[in-house]
């Protein structure tokens, strides 16, 4: 008992010492000059809605010309009297205190008071607000990091980042197998126990983890154009849709543009892991059209995809415009409907659709619209749009869009959070942004994925963050086993089967 008491006393003494040391380092902000504006901070977290479990939103003040920030003082006050106070070169919040503050203010707002010391003088800004949403967010994000290059790639990998922490861990890096490239990855509605992970290179394969176990697939068959890419799981986990694309890259010569990725041909198909059958149907492999970016509806009875009239490439590359279409799918029989519906006639708008992503509550479908083509990640004009499925109304997500590229995106498992990639930071290096979407489809101001030192990390990072997806739990991958299986020659072959239409349709 005495020992326990001693432990408690010792612990409190340490805390006290730390507090004393910290307070000794802190200056008192006395009679600061009041400024009539909110602070310009990086990342811009002012007036954003955040999940209660998000990692500390550390930030710094953006420098005013000729006025270096010597120190900033930040007080965050909750409505229930909780306060978090930090001071330093930038705002670095202690994780535990931050989590406690957010937990105590779920559904409420936090007021953030910022003062800055420049040239020995303290100045106080107007406070800004952080809204703590009652809507929970998933465990973490999985994304790829790769330099925004052209054809050649250097170090890259797929990484997992718990959203309540500030460290990421590699799931797979291309140092594992010589010459390897990792790209398309997909989980079933954020469930990482069902995953598809595509590797290119000499030891190329697609790792598929389904209810039928784990297999390393050769997804190229004699009947298909190329290996399977752009995966999307059927909600049952019994099927996974892919597209197969004959892709080429081309390069622009003027400063505003860099890369153009075009398809010479593309089809959509569905894999059934239980039987190893690759289901092909005429409507989705029509040589007069390019079909790509498949996505199953949350009820699993519809397959969305992008479709454009095939035109000669590269001559007509700027005339290729994809519409958003759908076709019925019968998961019991593994068959498709007869009719292709067009949900977004983007061609009529002078636009082109890519990356359709239905929300898992079945209410919305988010897409990227660009001026032409399907590889919108290199199109500066690319923006996010939201289709309300009940009313079939399409609207741009102005709160999310910027003059730079907004492109790949995904929904959280409860459809209340959105993650998307944007080049708005510097026009080239893609970063990840999170935003809240309420039950009425109103999307809040996005915020940059928090980091312990966001200014330094994002500035020094040589990578773009792309293909982000939520995961509800950590992904289990053993690098050693993965390396062994990838370098082994064994691959499961798919059996391509051309199927007829569903009898019921």
Partner 1 sequence: MKKQTNYDLWLRTGALSLLLGVAALLFWGLAYPHHLHHQEQLQLFLFTTDYLNEKLSHPGGLAEYIAEFLTQFDYYAWVGAAIIAGLLVILQRLIASLTRSDRWGSVLSLLPALAVWAFLCDENGLLSFPIALMLTLSVWRGYRLLPDRWPLRLPIGLIALPLLYWAVGGVALLFALGVAIESRRKPWSFALLFYALLLPIAVSYQLHYPLTRLFCGIDYYRFPEIYPAAQWVAIGLAVAVPLLGNFFFIEPINAQLSDQEMSIYRTDKRPFIDRIKAHLSVRYMLPLGCLLGAGWIYTASDFEKERLMHYDYLTRMRQWKAIIRLAEQKTPDAPFSVACLNLALAKTGQLGDRLFQFYQNGTEGLIPTFERDFISPLPASEVFYHLGMINSSLRYTFEAMEAIPDYRKSSRAFVRLAETNLINGQYAVAAKYLRALQQTLFYRKWATQAMGFLGNDRRIEQHAEWGWLRKARYTEDFLFSDAEMDNMLGLLIQQNPTNRLAFEYLMAYELLRKDLEKFAHYYPLGRQMGYNHIPRSYQEALIYLWTQEHSNFQGLPWSISQEVLQGVTEFARLYMQGQKNESLLREKYGKTFWAYLLLRNFEF
Q: Which is nearer to partner 1, 153 or 501 (CB)?
A: 153
What is the spatial distance between Cα 336 and Cα 234, in angstroms, rounded to a whole number? 13
Q: Which is nearer to partner 1, 185 or 272 (CB)?
A: 185
- Binding part of the chain for partner 1, among 116-124, 150-158, 221-229, 285-293 by CB under 8 A, reads 150-158
What would you report as the CA-atom Rg of the chain, rounded to the nearest whole angstrom? 25
Contacts (Cβ under 8 Å, ≥6 apart) of 467? 143, 144, 183, 184, 185, 408, 421
What is the spatial distance between Cα 445 and Cα 369, in angstroms, rounded to a whole number? 19
Q: Which of 469, 471, 406, 468 has its CA nearest to residue 443?
A: 406
Please report how close the Cβ of residue 453 comes to partner 1 at its closest, in angstroms: 9
> Does the footprint of partner 1 cover residue 251 (CB under 8 A)?
yes
Beta partners for residue 122, in sequence order:
117
Of the candidates 5, 24, 25, 152, which one interacts with partner 1 according to CB under 8 A? 152
Region of 120 (left: φ > 0; alpha: ψ -120 to 50; beta: rest) is left
> Does the footprint of partner 1 cover residue 258 (CB under 8 A)?
yes
Q: Which is nearer to partner 1, 110 or 262 (CB)?
A: 262
Of the candidates 149, 362, 396, 500, which one interacts with partner 1 according to CB under 8 A? 149
Of the candidates 79, 89, 178, 311, which one interacts with partner 1 according to CB under 8 A? 178
- Binding part of the chain for partner 1, among 119-127, 255-263, 329-337, 366-374 by CB under 8 A, reads 255-263
- Are 409 and 421 in contact by the 8 Å Cβ rule? The answer is yes
What is the spatial distance between Cα 265 and Cα 291, in angstroms, rounded to a whole number? 8
Q: Which is nearer to partner 1, 262 or 346 (CB)?
A: 262
> Does the footprint of partner 1 cover residue 252 (CB under 8 A)?
yes
First vs last Cα of the chain: how many Å apart? 74
> Does the footprint of partner 1 cover residue 147 (CB under 8 A)?
yes
Please report how close the Cβ of residue 369 comes to partner 1 at its closest, in angstroms: 20
According to CB under 8 A, which residues from 420 to 439 bind partner 1?
425-429
> Does the footprint of partner 1 cover residue 391 (CB under 8 A)?
no
Secondary structure (H, E, C), 318-332: HHCCCEEEEEEEECC
Please report how close the Cβ of residue 108 comes to partner 1 at its closest, in angstroms: 36
Secondary structure (H, E, C), 401-455: CCCCCEEEEEECCCCCEEEEEECCCCCCCCEEEEEEECCCCCECCCEECCCCCHH
Q: Which is nearer to partner 1, 142 or 494 (CB)?
A: 142
- Are 277 and 271 in contact by the 8 Å Cβ rule? The answer is yes
Of the candidates 170, 331, 441, 474, which one interacts with partner 1 according to CB under 8 A? 170
Burial class (CB in 10 A: 0-12, 13-18, 19+), 331: middle
- Binding part of the chain for partner 1, among 6-14, 117-125, 148-156, 360-368 by CB under 8 A, reads 148-156
What is the spatial distance between Cα 226 and Cα 222, in angstroms, rounded to a whole number? 9
> Does the footprint of partner 1 cover residue 192 (CB under 8 A)?
no
- CA atoms within 13 Å, Cβ hemisphere of 27: 16
Q: Which is nearer to partner 1, 134 or 179 (CB)?
A: 179
> Does the footprint of partner 1 cover residue 367 (CB under 8 A)?
no
According to CB under 8 A, which residues from 212 to 241 bind partner 1?
none
> Does the footprint of partner 1 cover residue 256 (CB under 8 A)?
yes
> Does the footprint of partner 1 cover residue 478 (CB under 8 A)?
yes
**Interface with partner 1 (CB under 8 A):** 147, 149-155, 157, 170, 172-173, 175-178, 250-258, 260, 314, 317, 425-429, 456-457, 459-460, 462, 478-480, 483, 487
């Amino acid at each position: 008992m005495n020992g326990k008491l001693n432990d408690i006393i010792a612990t409190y003494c340490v805390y006290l010492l730390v507090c004393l040391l910290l307070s000794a380092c802190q200056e008192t902000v006395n009679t600061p000059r009041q400024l009539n504006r909110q602070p310009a901070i990086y990342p811009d977290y002012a007036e954003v809605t955040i999940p209660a479990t998000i990692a500390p939103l550390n930030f710094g003040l953006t420098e005013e010309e000729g006025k270096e920030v010597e120190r900033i003082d930040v007080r965050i006050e909750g409505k229930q009297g909780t306060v978090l106070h930090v001071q330093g070169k930038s705002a670095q919040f202690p994780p535990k205190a931050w989590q406690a503050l957010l937990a105590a203010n779920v559904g409420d707002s936090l007021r953030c008071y910022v003062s800055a010391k420049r040239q020995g003088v303290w100045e106080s800004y107007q406070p800004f607000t952080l809204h703590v949403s009652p809507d929970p967010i998933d465990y973490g994000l999985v994304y790829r990091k790769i330099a925004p290059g052209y054809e050649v790639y250097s170090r890259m990998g797929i990484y997992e980042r718990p959203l309540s922490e500030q460290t990421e861990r590699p799931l797979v890096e291309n140092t594992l197998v010589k010459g390897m490239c990792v790209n398309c990855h997909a989980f079933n509605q954020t469930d990482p126990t069902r995953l598809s992970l595509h590797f290119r290179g000499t030891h190329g394969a697609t790792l598929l983890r389904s209810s039928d176990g784990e297999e390393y697939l050769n997804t190229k068959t004699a009947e298909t154009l190329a290996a399977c890419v752009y995966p999307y799981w059927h909600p049952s986990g019994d099927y996974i849709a892919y597209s197969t694309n004959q892709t080429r890259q081309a390069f622009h010569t003027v400063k505003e543009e860099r890369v153009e990725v075009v398809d010479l041909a593309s089809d959509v198909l569905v894999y059934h892991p239980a039987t190893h059958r690759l289901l092909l149907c005429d409507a989705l492999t029509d040589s007069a059209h390019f079909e790509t970016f498949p996505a199953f509806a949350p009820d699993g009875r519809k397959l969305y995809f992008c479709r454009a009239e095939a035109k000669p490439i590269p001559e007509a590359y700027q005339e290729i415009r994809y519409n958003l279409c759908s076709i019925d799918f019968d998961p019991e029989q593994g068959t498709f409907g007869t009719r292709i519906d067009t949900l977004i006639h983007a061609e009529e708008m002078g636009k082109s659709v890519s990356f359709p992503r239905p929300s898992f509550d079945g209410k919305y479908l988010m897409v990227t619209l660009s001026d032409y083509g399907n590889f919108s990640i290199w199109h500066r004009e690319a923006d996010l749009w939201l289709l309300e499925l009940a009313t079939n109304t399409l609207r741009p997500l102005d709160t999310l869009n910027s003059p730079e590229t907004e492109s790949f995106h995904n929904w959280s498992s409860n459809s209340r959070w959105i993650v998307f990639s944007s080049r708005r930071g510097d026009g080239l290096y893609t970063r990840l942004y999170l935003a809240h979407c309420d039950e009425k489809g109103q999307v809040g101001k996005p915020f940059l994925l928090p980091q312990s030192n966001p200014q330094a990390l994002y500035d020094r990072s040589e990578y773009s963050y792309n293909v982000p997806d939520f995961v509800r739990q950590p992904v289990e991958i053993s690098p050693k086993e993965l390396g062994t299986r990838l370098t082994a020659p064994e691959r499961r072959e798919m059996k391509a089967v051309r199927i007829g239409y569903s009898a019921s349709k």
